[in-house]
Structure 1
Amino acid sequence: MLLSVRLGTDDKARAKAFYDATFAALGYPPGETPPEYPILMYHLPGGASLILGPARDGNPVTYANGGTVLFAAPNDEAVAAWHAAGLANGGTCEGVPEPKPQARGAMGAYLRDPDGNKLGVYSGLKLG
């Protein structure tokens, strides 16, 4: 079972605005980490957490080349809302909301968060 995924951010306030908005579009709760903590934490459906914070080695954050974190959307409309919320909060488009052939036609979309981390969301994705 996946416990958590950690992504880097050098701007906690900017990351919180982006993730609170995009997760709200999926029906996920906002992050509730106390402001004095150096990280943000989001508790996701199914028990896993998304953690965002500075690099532990003190160097500037970089993103994974080839890495993508995917989230589930309850329906196709939520995919579009997630994408729009991300663009409105500093994200950049990596794939418009549309049926994705690589996912057997499931509705999906991709963004990069303000720190360059690649994210995707799908509705109706059948695993296996």
Structure 2
Amino acid sequence: MAAFFRVSSFTETCEESIGLSGPDHRTPAQGPRKWISFLEYNTMLSGVCIGTNDMNAAGAFYDEVLSTIGMTCVLSEPAERGYAAADGRITLFLVKPFNGQPATSGNGTQVMFYAPSSDSVDAFHSTAISCGGTDEGAPGSRHYHPDYYGAYVRDLDGNKLNVSLEIRRDAKNS
């Protein structure tokens, strides 16, 4: 499962800056690009670390929750765990803070995941709640975008998580 980020009106600028402007990088059937896979284009973001105060409890939580969207733990050490999608590339780390201080959640910070289906969004949310997480927004549509479907939870350490479907352009905008 590839991860995507939205580039909106900056698409052409982004493509030009990485040498992908012009007709050769997209077929006519594909139309202009509005989503760029960071696995395909090798962006600077390599992953996200989430601090935890209880690695065993957090590991059990994330093992269950992330399995709903196809991610598994591929690295397990006493002070860190790494999760990857099918490509095996670790993009999410659970860590005990290096400085030895308690892990805290960030105000205004959330970790966002894409789900392959609305059923996966529902499963992510319900699994997180059943594993001790707290509800921050039930699965459903939101005003952000007409095609948005997602949910919000907090993990055992209070970190906010979002899961949603990838929003694709409709055919009239291709």
TM-score normalised per structure 2: 0.66
C-alpha deviation, 1:45, in angstroms: 5.7
Given the alignment of the two structures, is residue 23 of structure 1 paired with residue 59 of structure 2, yes or no? no
Residues 5-44 of structure 1 mapped to structure 2, 5 A cutoff: 5-29=48-72, 31-34=73-76, 36-44=77-85
User: Is the CA contact 1:70–1:120 (under 8 Å) kept in the aligned structure 2?
Assistant: yes
Is the deviation greater in 96-105 or in 61-70?
A: 96-105
Deviations 1:94-123 (A, max 9, x none): 000001112434110000000000000001
Distance 1:21 1:124 in 2: 21
Q: Give the corresponding residue for 2:113.
A: 71
Given the alignment of the two structures, is residue 53 of structure 1 paired with residue 86 of structure 2, yes or no? no
CA RMSD across the alignment:
1.8
User: Is the CA contact 2:74–2:84 (under 8 Å) kept in the aligned structure 1?
Assistant: no
Deviations 1:21-62 (A, max 9, x none): 111111222x1323x431011123674511111111111110
Distance 1:15 1:110 in 2: 17
Deviations 1:73-109 (A, max 9, x none): 0011110000011001111000000011124341100
Distance 1:126 1:48 in 2: 25
User: Is the CA contact 1:108–1:120 (under 8 Å) kept in the aligned structure 2?
Assistant: yes
Identity of aligned residues (%): 35
SS in 2 for 1:101: coil
> Structure 1: where are the runs of 5+ without partners?
none
> Structure 2: where are the runs of 5+ without partners?
1-42, 170-174
SS in 2 for 1:17: helix
The one-letter amino acid of 1:4's match is G
TM-score normalised per structure 1: 0.88
User: Is the CA contact 1:6–1:52 (under 8 Å) kept in the aligned structure 2?
Assistant: yes
User: Is the CA contact 1:108–1:121 (under 8 Å) kept in the aligned structure 2?
Assistant: yes
Q: Give the corresponding residue for 1:123.
A: 165
Q: Determine which structure has greater relative contact order: mean sequence separation of CA pairs < 8 Å that are 6+ residues apart, divided by chain length.
A: 1
Q: Number of aligned pairs?
A: 125
